[in-house]
Structure 1
Amino acid sequence: MSLTSNDELYPGLLPEVFSAYFIAAFLKASFLDILLRVFLVVFLVVFLIIFLVVFLDVSLYVFYMSFSYIYKGGKKRKPYRSHF
């Protein structure tokens, strides 16, 4: 049984990054496996942060625009202009 594939234990599941055997597999993994796992984790974290920032920015902007529209009594508001 190899520690780079969990197909014998849990067929069809994702790699050890998401399993209980991650530490044992990490200790016996080759340098390329370690590099791939580190890259995967960093990529997922960066993607999640970017997604959350963009999602919150857009949702707060829509929230601000809707309340600005209500506060001005339904009048059309000038479009938002950036200082840059």
Structure 2
Amino acid sequence: MGQVGGGGVSIYYSHTLQLLFFSYSQGKNFVAPLKNMDAGLGPVFPINVSKSGGNGGNKANNAQPQPLCQWSEVPNHPGLVCSVMQTSK
């Protein structure tokens, strides 16, 4: 049996927002409401990350989507979720 999306990279649950954030190694990132563990996931929405050319990286490497990881919430700013983009070498 194969792996979904090349295998999972990270998962984060925001209790405040009742949202589940998750990413896969092929650079697919998603968010879904999760209000009750018994009810399952609500609709799943893709997280689209735009690429900016200001990072000085290799353009060929930047063309490949990268997964998001190290999710966190900004204290005293409900609704603001941060993550970093995992790079592969």
TM-score range, shorter chain: under 0.3
Which has the larger strand fraction?
2
Q: What's the TM-score, normalizing by structure 2?
A: 0.19
TM-score (norm 1): 0.19
| Greater percentage in helix | 1
The structure having more radius of gyration, on CA atoms, is: 1
Structure of higher RCO (CA pairs closer than 8 Å, 6+ residues apart): 2
